[in-house]
Structure formats: structure tokens, C-alpha cells
Amino acid sequence: MEQKPESANEGNPMGFEMKEEQWNFIFKFYPEYGVAPYDMMTWLYGQAKCNEDMLDEQYGKPTLGGEMAGGSDEEENLGIDSKYDKGFGPKKQTMKKGAAQKASDIADAKQKKLEDLKKVAGPSRTDAQREEQKVMKAYKDKDVNVNPDDLVEVDKVREPVSMCFIGHVDAGKSTISGQMMYMMGVVDVRTIEKYKQEARDKGRDSWWLAYVMDVSDEEKSKGKTVEVGRAQFDTPTKKYTIFDAPGHKNYVPNMIMGAAMADIGGLVISARKGEFEAGFEKEGQTREHAQLAQSLGVQKLVIIVNKMDDCKWSKTRWDEIRTGLTPFLNKTGYKDEDLIWVPISGMTGDNI
């Protein structure tokens, strides 16, 4: 800009002279300031040029001739000459002729495309949930026949009862379960002879009863229950389902699965000298199994003192086991009326 004498233009007290290209810049990009005083237009031009220089690298730079650099096709359609114009021009841009109509056409096309995509994708999750709520509301107050004519009760006489044998490893849980199946006639004589021969071949003559429940080769070879065994038998008043849970500490998760399905727990204790103590010590499974049964909702616990024939049915041994175990079970949450004590011999079947 060039400075003029004060008398040259009364409306230009600062004496600035606007060149033609400067007037074009002002009227093209800031038309609302066209009627402003001469000095305001000069100041505005200076501000615009300052912003232009500062943001030259980020935005397209306008030329003084009115042509913009770097305008995109979308900006051209919307009547915006450049990103510079869009970012630093006046709030109300003056669009090119027909730009408003083009913008409207673009918006309509986008909306139509969105609707087509929704049709292809089907109803949204929210729409599906609304439909489900409508169906539920329609059937909410309808009467349902809980006793249809074709409903047949399987057994009207026997009450179903489930029981899970738990306890320390080698306490005799599988042997007791197999003996019960044998005594109730669930396992035929031919199968029993097969198990006896198989046990003799493996050098485990006393394990043949356990083979009734431990059917896998892994369990038979190791002599340890791994999976929860399941069997059924009937009495005149009850329909029993028994579960044979593993006693080894490595298979506690399987024991939990069996105890969770039981109404009654059968805590098997070995009366053999040293075996009760081993199971009741800190690392034994007698304590852990009793606590887990209580936490899983087993309300009644049958304390099965097995291998009483090994100690010749000694009352001293019986009292020793009962005295040592009762306080712990009471602290676990079982009251005296919830405990049933039974001395048995699983191998011979006495008192089962």
C-alpha cells in the first residue's frame, strides 16, 4: 500500500490508496465490508493477509486475483473456493450460483443410500428387541396350562434323591458305590466276573468293585477316580442317583461338579490307622470336601466310616474318629442334627 497526502481523499484520513486487485480481494471474500469506511477495509485486508501468511502451509493460499489454490471437488460443489475460504471467511459464505441446490442433492443422495443399506442389513438390534417386547406383551397375560392331559408322571411312588460320595483319596468311595450297585442288582453276575478277572490281571484283586464306577482305562490303571461316576437304583420309596466324586486334590473341580448336583453328601472316612489322620490333616481332602459341600448347598451329610473291618469294628477307633471330626463339621456349618454317622465295610458290604 502507498501513502497519499491528507488532501487526496477526505474519506481516507490515513492516506492509503487501494489498488484494483485489493478491491477485488475485499469484495470477493468479504462483501459485507464493502460499505465500510476506507480505513476499516484497509485494516481488514491487512488482517486477512496476516492470517493467510500464518496458515499458508496448512490451507490453500488465495491469490490477489481471486483464484484459489487447492480447492477440492466437494468444496467446488458447495461453492467454497478453498479450505482457506471455508475456515477464515465470513460466517455466511456467498455460494456460487446453484451451489445450494447441489448441496441439497448431495444430502438427498446420501440419505437414500443410507436407507438402502438399512433395507439390505435388515432390522437393527433395537428394532428386533422392540418386536420381542411386543410379542412378550401380547402373551404376558395369557393362561398357561401347567398340567396338560398328555403330561405323564414317570414315577408316582418313588421320591427322587441324589447323593454324592466325597472324601479323601483311597477312602473307598468307588468301592462303596460299586458294592451298592452289586447289592441292588444293577450289575449282573457276568459283568462282576469280568471286573474280577480284569482286577486280577492288573494285580489289584480288591479293586473289582471300584471298576463298576471307574470305567475308563486311565482310572483303572491308576486306581484313582478322575471323572464323576454316575449310577441309579431304586428302593420301594426312593429313586436314588449316586455320584462317585474323585478324592485326589488334582481333581477338585470334578468333585465340585458332582457335589453341586447332590441333595445329600456322603463323606467317606477311612477307619484304617493313619488314613483318617492323613485325610484330616491340613493337606488332606476331608476338610476341603466338607467345606465345599456346605458352600454348594448340601444340607445333610452322612458320615460313612469305612473299613471298620480293618480295625475289627473297634468302638475306640469309632469314638476317636467321631470326637475328632464333629467339632470341625460344626464349625463348617453342619449342626449335629444334620449329621448321620454310619460304620460300614465297603469291601464286604457289612452295614451298607
* Nine cell digits for residue 269: 472316612
Q: What's the CA gap between 316 and 322, in Å, rounded? A: 10
Distances in whole angstroms, Cα of residue 44 to Cα of each of 11, 18, 92, 95: 16, 12, 17, 21
Same domain, 173 and 80: no
Residue 146 forms part of a structural domain? no
- What is the tens place of the pLDDT at every residue in 233-257? 888 888 999 999 998 888 899 999 9
Last residue of a domain, one of 79, 99, 119: 99
Q: What's the CA gap between 164 and 258, in Å, rounded? A: 6
pTM over 0.75: no
What pLDDT band is residue 337 in, cutting at 50, 70 and 90? very high
CB 256 within 8 A of CB 297: no
Residue 42 forms part of a structural domain? yes
Buried/exposed code over 107-125 (b: 16+ C-beta within 10 A; e: otherwise): eeeeeeeeeeeeeeeeeee
- What is the tens place of the pLDDT at every residue in 269-327? 999 998 999 888 877 889 999 999 999 999 899 999 999 999 999 999 999 999 999 99
Q: What's the CA gap between 199 and 202, in Å, rounded? A: 5
Same domain, 245 and 329: yes
Last residue of a domain, one of 73, 99, 125: 99
Residue 168 forms part of a structural domain? yes
- What is the tens place of the pLDDT at every residue in 52-102? 666 665 555 444 444 444 444 554 554 444 444 444 444 444 444 456 667
Which of 83-87, 128-132, 202-206 is the least confident region?
Answer: 83-87
Which of 110-124, 135-149, 230-244 is the least confident region?
Answer: 135-149
Same domain, 211 and 71: no
Q: What's the CA gap between 57 and 54, in Å, rounded? A: 8
Residue 148 forms part of a structural domain? no
**22: containing domain:** 13-99
What total of structural domains would you count in the chain? 2
The SS3 call for residue 340 is: strand
Same domain, 168 and 312: yes
What pLDDT band is residue 33 in, cutting at 50, 70 and 90? low
Q: Give the chain's radius of gyration (CA, Å).
A: 46
Answer yes or no: is pLDDT of 185 > 80. yes
Last residue of a domain, one of 66, 82, 99: 99
> Three-class SS string for 163-214?
EEEEECCCCCHHHHHHHHHHHCCCCCHHHHHHHHHHHHHCCCHHHCCHHHCC
Same domain, 226 and 308: yes
Same domain, 187 and 84: no
What pLDDT band is residue 26 in, cutting at 50, 70 and 90? low
DSSP 221-240: HHTS--SPEEEEEE-SSEEE
Same domain, 60 and 172: no
Residue 152 forms part of a structural domain? no
Same domain, 92 and 186: no
CB 208 within 8 A of CB 221: no
Tell how far CA 258 is from the center of its chain. 23
Same domain, 43 and 191: no
CATH number where 214 lies = 3.40.50.300
Same domain, 171 and 315: yes
Residue 35 forms part of a structural domain? yes
Q: What's the CA gap between 49 and 26, in Å, rounded? A: 11
